[in-house]
Amino acid sequence: MNCRIRIAMYFLLSCGLPNSFGFAESGFRFVTAKISSESRARYLGQYFVDSEKDLAVGEFDPRAERLLRAAETYTQATFNLPSLKFIGATTHKQDGDVLVVRWTIDEPFAKGDVFLQDSPNSSRYEFRLTNCAIQSKEDVEAFFSKLVVWRKPPNNIMPGALQVTLPTDNQPVKAFSGAIFTSSASWLRNMTIDAARRESEWLATPLVCDALVVCIVFVYLVLTGSLGVRRRCAINRSWPVRSHIARTSGGR
């Protein structure tokens, strides 16, 4: 799904859907919707194919070293992954400069691979996890509780900012989504998460971008009705730290 369409869709979903579950003890808000776990697993799986291909054939531009360090700082400030281990990185140009990174993790709640596709306007993480026992609403709640860094600077993400969407007819749970709108250092951010089970693995793809981008895209789509128009970003040859990373990492 086109990134611009996806974030605009989540903006609409966050504006008030019927609530089937209400708020859990964690403070997360749960709703239900129709989700096809099979089709979701297929399109999420393609992300990993693309990222592994990028890493296999690409080269790393040394000018992106500062961005790579900042991206790792941002990742550890956003997700509770003390075991994060760097494996490799590459860079390429597609609608602007793109940084691709691979780490591995070995946490009590999950182990596996973490990829990052970082573009000028957004950061898409790709989690491929095993040892991740998710079968119920309570398991999804526990997963988010352990994965995301809550109530700590610099992000200061509050549990009430998370809305989780579960399938209406899926027991055990084989797919879910999450949306977080939060503020940090007087700036709004948006994170959406799609997840699906594929055999013994869970695939999850958190997408992080500045909420200003979401609002602009949403207004643009409403005014023009054009969902297929893509504007090619200019290549920034200095490899700056992205705005949504710099405000959290301090631009290191």
For 32-48, the pLDDT digits (tens) are 999 999 999 999 999 99
Region 228-244: mean pLDDT is: 43
pLDDT in the model for residue 238: 43
Cα–Cα distance measured from residue 100 to residue 93, given in angstroms and rounded to the nearest whole number: 11
Mean of pLDDT values over 136-156:
92
In the prediction, which pLDDT does 235 show? 36
* Across 116-141, average pLDDT: 93
Strand order in the sheet with 85-93: 22-23, 29-33, 162-167, 175-184, 187-198, 201-210, 122-130, 110-118, 97-107, 85-93
**Per-residue confidence at 223, pLDDT binned at 50, 70, 90?**
low
Nearest to residue 33, comparing CAs of 138, 164, 167? 167
- Identify the band that residue 26 occupies on the pLDDT scale cut at 50, 70 and 90: confident
Q: What mean pLDDT is reported for the chain? A: 80
Instruction: Give the residue-averaged pLDDT of 169-197.
Output: 80
pLDDT at 15: 44
pLDDT digits (tens, 9 = 90+) for 9-23: 444 444 444 445 556
Among 147, 248, 126, 148, which residue's Cα sits nearest to residue 189? 248
pLDDT band, very low/low/confident/very high, at 93 (cuts 50, 70, 90): confident
How far, rounded to the nearest angstrom, does the alpha carbon of residue 151 sit from its chain's CA centroid?
18
Q: Which of 17-21, 162-166, 226-230, 242-246 has the highest mean pLDDT?
A: 162-166
Which has the higher per-residue pLDDT, 140 or 1?
A: 140
Q: In this structure, what are the phi and psi dihedrals at residue 215, rounded to the nearest 5 degrees?
A: -65, -45
Asked whether residue 220 carries a pLDDT value surpassing 60, the answer given is no
Mean pLDDT along residues 150-176: 90
Mean pLDDT confidence for 230-238? 37
- Measured between alpha carbons, how far is residue 91 from residues 117, 250, 252 in Å? 10, 22, 18
Confidence of residue 73 (pLDDT cuts 50, 70, 90): very high
Lowest-pLDDT range of 137-151, 155-169, 184-198: 184-198
pTM score of the predicted model: 0.79
Q: Is the pLDDT reported for residue 27 higher than 60?
A: yes
